[in-house]
Structure 1
Amino acid sequence: MGSMLFAVWRIIVEVFVFWRKKFLQWYHRRTPVEEWLALLRRASAYEDWEDAALQLDSLLGLDAWRHSPASRYYDWRLIASRLDALAAARSPAEGGGGGGITDVSGLVNLLRSGLVRNLGNITAPRLYNRSFAGTKLLIEEYITAVAEAIEDIAALPAPGSGGVVPAYYNTGRTSGAEPAPAGQQHVHFGVNTNGGGDNSSATSTSSESKRPPPPHPATMSNQAKLDFVHDTRQAFGRSTLVLQGGAIFGLVHLGVVKALFLRGLLPRIITGTATGALIAALVAIHTEEELPRVLKGDGIDLSAFAGRAGVEGGGVGARGEKAGGESLGTRLRTLARRVRRFTREGYFLDVKVLEECVRANVGDLTFEEAYTRSKRVLNITVATAGQGGVPTLLNYLTAPNVLIWTAAVASNASTPSLYGHRETTLLCKDANGSIVPWAPANTIDFRHWTHVSYSDKDSPLLRIAELFNVNHFIVSQARPYLIPFLQSDMHGPSLLETRNKTTAATAFLVRMVGLEIRHRLRQLDTLQLLPVGIRRFLVDEVVPGPSVTLVPEVTAGDFIRLLETPTRETLDYWILRGERSVWPAVAALRIRCAVETELDRAYQGARRLKAGGLRRRRSSTAMALGVPDREGRERANSVGA
């Protein structure tokens, strides 16, 4: 009897355990959407992120929205008509028997008539927050067609060249970057350089004799090509990447630059403020070939931080290899060390470490030397509190001989309670190459940017627009006190908002309240009624033009990292954070910047062709006059010697 009761009890327990396990599996199960959403958030490479985004669009039916051109948020009829017109202008004449442009003048006029980045409202944020993977396919096809048309014009042979396409236009789109992955909506071009179609060799001679002769291939002189690309580029405008803030969070800027560079979307004009100035300087001094190594973190020297931590806190290697995840005790010792410095010397952070780190990575390059080396325009903003004599924007035009690392340190100048009563000295190179103080800044006391309220007329960003024809700003925001209250402009769809109308209404109200508060704060700041101590935490710099704001997602634990010493592991962590802030905005940035990138590439190629033509012309003229060229004269002199 007892054994029977035990057997029954055992069966009941086994049944209970079985169904309990099934219930827990059912309760914690994930739907396919949740699985792909988790993969989207954990992605460590853009290819993985894009694959998850495409799968989510398919599961949620968002791909149907992308395929349908109609939308009330942009003029899709205008875009469709211009796409058809571009296709007609680029198609060969009937009976031409081959590819190539036949109406160059018509294509040029068509392109110039649509030189607006926001043509038909195609850059409206609503068009990029409806789908995970991109926007309307009609918009993507139109931008691709415009870029391809510019490519076709740039690849036209010059008269008398025999129809040979310049080698400059057979290169890839992303110089120095990894090849674009399959399925990516990169602007990819192919130019038919054969002057004919895919004619079969089996066609009879009699049938070919009946075919009308092909039209003469279109040509364009190097000077006409340079004029067209220059004028078109000037009318379209240029973009700048603005790196703002902020403490150790500023390392996310490296990830932002890396993501843009690998997608071929990194602007040639880079602007930095505070910690962003350090990252901008690090990026702008390197060539296309050197950037991949730097953006992986391998080319960044952190020995200044490691050495200081080794002296004051102890135990970190020469390049900071040890402290990948610092213990709570290490963080507390760091905090205690900074508090002791504040009570003993009156300031919280050691700016000497910052100076050593910047100089170790940038060296003694000037703005002009960096531009000559990399062809990237570096802008560093400094705050002078209205003191005259020094521009608030330093670059190769306004301060060509100033050392970059001293400008970056000046951009990080802050309140005495934070960095102490230290004067920031700008250094420059004189005519002999010696490093001396920059005379215009000898009497300037640099301030933190939040201590200066720029008006519209003297804003550094507005000055960039004036100097370099910038009309589009890509802003990477990393200030710790602003990140919790901001959201990237291109953040993709919210599943909660799409599935729950109550949640959607609540989110809308929260956004409206936030926008209203920011508007009122700006009004108080304009009237100079906002105290400086509050302004630096609540008011961001006004961007004078269309912009895209990129904000990294941070957690509460990330703020503890403000006490960490920067290491290689810390770099990897923040670089990935920065990349993830860019990926949802890649589609929007491609629409905004693909045409500009192609114009810039065509302009550089046209300039090289023009310069080569001038050299050949001078050489032929010299030969006709019996004057040897420079190289020949040098060889003759060396032989005679």
Structure 2
Amino acid sequence: MWIITLVLKRIISIIMSLLDVLFDVMIFWSRRIYTSLSSKTKSSKLKYKLAHANNYEEWEKYALKLDRLLANDIWRQRASSGDYDYRLISNRLNFLLEAKDHGDALTISNGLRSGLLRNLGSMANKRLYTRSYLGTKHLIEDYVSEVINCLKYLQQYNVPTSSLKNLSINLTETSSSHMKMKNYIATQQKFLNFFHDTRQSFGRTALVLQGGSIFGLCHLGVIKTLFFKGLLPRIFTCINKGAIIGSLICAFPDEDLIPLLDHLSENVAGFSNRLSEKLGEESWNNNNSTNTPTISTILKYIIEEKNPPEVVAFELYVKSTLMDLTFEEAYNRSDRVLNIVVHSEEKAFSSSSYSLSSSSPFSSSSSVLVLNYLTAPNTVIWSAIMASKSKSRGIKELQIKDADGNVTPYQIEDEEDEDELNGDDLDNQGKKSSSDKYNTTSFTSTISNDPSVPYTRITELFNVNHYIVSISRPYLAPLLAIDTRHRGYHGWRATAVRLINLEFQHRLRQLDYFKLLPHTFKRFFLDDNMPSGSSGFGSARGGGDYLSGGTTLNNEVIIVPEFPMGLVNDFKNVFREGDLKDKIDYWTLIGERSTWPMLSIIWARCAIEFMLDDIYSQARRRRSGFY
């Protein structure tokens, strides 16, 4: 009996020991799971601070710490990578350094002309800009910097000396002075031709502003960041309400943009009284009776297509600022090219000066028109904005200013009743002078129903081969710009998201083609088209709007703001009551945060182009002083 009792005690002891071990294991793993779920690692804390930085200096500080923590700084120092031809870049860099050390301007100019490409050796590959938060390989940065230094060297090499300037005064005194002056002018023209041809072969960048009915003020943050970093393109392509922001920027020269951008929220807040008069303060307050709108209230605002008060106030401010400014006047004032894309649902117009094709099955009932200082120089910008917003009326919204300053509606009638327009050619400064007659066919001939036409037309007119696309639709951020995300989807996840995006866009296009897609839904997802064709957008990779995937060498950089507080909370912020200045500053900051991670790739792709633009403009002005 005692043996049985001993065995039972031993069995119970073993079972208790096993239970103790099991309990200890459970406690250990429960603590590990709790720690991993509740506590943030050092890198995740830095990423959180990075996403919530209030200025670029703060963002840069956290990005530097994060790169050091993740050993990205070591990756940047190593030149070798399978994503680009580092040997070619290194050889080109050494070639330029050696030529500059020997003071050989001819070798430098020949070397730049023969190999100055935006994507030389695949150095524009987006994979090279997703590892580090601050930049890319030091070799690429050194090469771009050295090209810029060589361009500056050529510019200084060709700067006129005081003695040569004095030759223009004593031009007829001696034959030797005359010969020196002729030789100098010939040299000036030679270098001017060099910068012109190099600039032409390199191509130009356009900033595309898409969307804006609710989150359009995010475009302000994108523009503000690019401008203060010296990376703002001089060509703007604006669609729908993006034209409101683009037109304001294109109406001011650089020296006036600094105070404008710094105090824009304060200036717009001064129009809050006009907003109250327009919407009716009592009515607006009744519609926003709570400081925290419910989801049903938000859906009601979206269905009724109501705009937030800060967006309406901004529209009023821009309208009062632009007044009857035309495309030509804006270009002459700011030297920026404003393109506004107008869509119209009319299948045909009464004018016989143009015709509409039917090549695109998904836009057979709409036509596309591109307005700028070349195609519509005397068109009032604000009327073009209204035409871009109104797809039902489209071209009927346009107004034209005559030589006397009178603004009249633009009407397309029969040929015998049309105004006869003769657009003046550009002068040697690239500006157009006003004429008291206008050529209606100058911009009606650009009408087409192919959604890729606006970007094809802009490429033809302004030699654009690279786009920076700002899309003010944060709710689409998970589907967009996958290839340029530092934290984000790579490998099979990126492929899965692209497939979802393609399928989603395809089904929406089908519904829209059969007129089954509600206008409210279309307003949020399908009212714009991305650049396509040769630029590596849309049709080249499936034709979907906002599609960034496919290859990593495509010629665009897509900037999409993300909701820092989550989808629902930030949607509530849109319709929540609050100070207009604070709300404008908030959405501007969201746009700035979305642009900071893109600065490295934008700089690598555009810094050489902008330096060529500056040098060519200065050389042209300097040459004009000798004639």
Q: TM-score, normalised by structure 1?
A: 0.69
Query: Match for 1:575: what amino acid?
Result: T
Residue aligning to 1:395: 372
372, 397, 405: which one aligns with 2:382: 405
Relative to structure 1, the CA distance from residue 486 to residue 441 in structure 2 (aligned partners, 3 Å threshold; closer, same or farther) is: farther
Residue 293 (structure 1) shift: 2.7
1:54–1:133 CA contact under 8 A, matched in 2: yes
Corresponding position of 1:572 = 585
Whichever residue aligns with residue 570 of structure 2, its letter is D
Q: 2:338 aligns with which of 360, 378, 381?
A: 378
Alignment partner of 1:392: what SS? Answer: strand
How far did 1:161 drift?
A: 4.8
Partner of 2:365: none
- The aligned counterpart of 1:547 is 556
Distance 1:156 1:220 in 2: 14
CA offset digits 1:59-101 (Å, max 9, x no partner)? 1111111110111111111000000001011113xxxxxxxx2
* 1:132 alignment partner, SS class: coil
Distance 1:253 1:467 in 2: 25
Classify 1:306/1:86 alpha carbon distance in 2 versus 1 (closer, same or farther; 3 Å). farther
Matches within 5 A, 1:201-212: none
Does the aligned pair in 2 maintain the 1:159–1:220 contact within 8 Å? no
Q: Closer, same or farther in 2 for the Cα pair 1:151/1:530, shift >3 Å?
A: farther
- 1:510 pairs, out of 471, 496, 504, with 496
Is 1:158–1:219's contact at 8 Å kept on the other side of the alignment?
no
- Aligned counterparts of 2:507 and 2:97: Cα–Cα separation in 1: 49
Secondary structure, in 3 states, of the residue corresponding to 1:364?
coil
Contact 1:313–1:333 (CA under 8 A) maintained in structure 2:
no
Q: Which amino acid aligns with 1:327?
A: N
Within 2, Cα distance between the matches of 1:223 and 1:75?
35
Deviation at 1:230, TM superposition (A): 0.7
| 2:271 aligned with 1:305 | no
Rounded to whole Å, the distance in 1 between the matches of 2:302 and 2:101 is: 69
CA distance in 1: counterparts of 2:155 and 2:64, whole angstroms: 34
- The equivalences for 1:41-440 within 5 A come to 41-92=51-102, 101=103, 103-157=104-158, 161=162, 221-296=187-262, 297=264, 298-300=266-268, 302-303=271-272, 304-313=274-283, 327-328=291-292, 356-385=316-345, 386-388=347-349, 392-414=369-391, 425-440=397-412
TM superposition shift of 1:157: 3.5
Instruction: Indicate how the Cα distance of structure 1 residues 230 and 531 shifts in structure 2: closer, same or farther if over 3 A, else same.
Output: farther
Taking the aligned partners of 2:290 and 2:586, their CA distance within structure 1 comes to: 13
Code of the residue aligned with 1:430 in structure 2: it is: D
Question: In structure 2, what is the Cα distance between the partners aligned to 1:150 and 1:354?
Answer: 41
Instruction: Name the CA shift for 1:302/1:111 in 2 (closer, same or farther; >3 Å).
Output: same
Task: Decide which of 573, 579, 596 is 1:583's aligned counterpart.
Answer: 596
Report the number of matched residues.
496
- The equivalent of 1:207 in structure 2 is none
| 1:559 counterpart (558, 571, 591) | 571
Query: Mind listing any 5+ residue stretches in structure 1 that lack a counterpart?
Result: 1-22, 93-100, 165-217, 317-322, 416-420, 445-451, 498-503, 615-641
1:337–1:486 Cα change, 3 Å: closer
Mind listing any 5+ residue stretches in structure 2 that lack a counterpart? 1-32, 166-183, 355-367, 419-446, 536-554
Match of 2:230, SS state, is coil
Cα RMSD over matched residues? Answer: 3.9
The one-letter amino acid paired with 1:477 is I
1:467 counterpart SS class: helix
Distance of 2:71 and 2:208 partners within structure 1: 36
Q: Deviations over 1:91-130 (max 9, x none)?
A: 13xxxxxxxx2x2221111001112211111111111111
Amino acid at match of 1:222: Q
Q: Measure the CA separation in 2 of the matches of 1:278 and 1:406.
A: 11
- Three-state SS of the structure 2 residue aligned to 1:596 is helix
Percent identity, aligned pairs only, is: 38
Shift of the alpha carbon at 1:326?
A: 7.2
Deviations 1:305-336 (A, max 9, x none): 343344443669xxxxxx9x971369998987
TM-score, scaled relative to structure 2: 0.70
591-600 vs 155-164, greater mean Cα deviation: 155-164
**Preserved CA contact (<8 Å) 1:409 1:424:** no
Contact 1:133 1:584 in 2 (8 A): yes
Relative to structure 1, the CA distance from residue 549 to residue 423 in structure 2 (aligned partners, 3 Å threshold; closer, same or farther) is closer
One-letter amino acid of the structure 2 residue matched with residue 437 of structure 1: P
1:464 to 458, 465, 470: 458
1:377 partner letter: V
Task: For residue 558 of structure 1, report the CA deviation from its aligned partner.
Answer: 2.0
Cα distance 1:508–1:568, how it changes in 2: closer, same or farther (>3 A)?
A: same
In 1, Cα distance between equivalents of 2:185 and 2:93 = 23
1:536 Cα deviation from its structure 2 partner: 5.7
Cα distance in structure 2, aligned partners of 1:230 and 1:261: 24
Deviation of the 1:568 alpha carbon: 1.6
Contact 1:50–1:133 (Cα < 8 Å) also in 2: yes
Counterparts in 2 of 1:282 and 1:129: CA distance versus 1, 3 Å? same
| Deviation, structure 1 residue 515 | 4.9
Letter of the aligned partner of 1:239 in structure 2? T
Contact 2:292-2:576 within 8 A present in 1 as well: no
| CA separation of 1:109 and 1:383: change in aligned 2, threshold 3 A | same
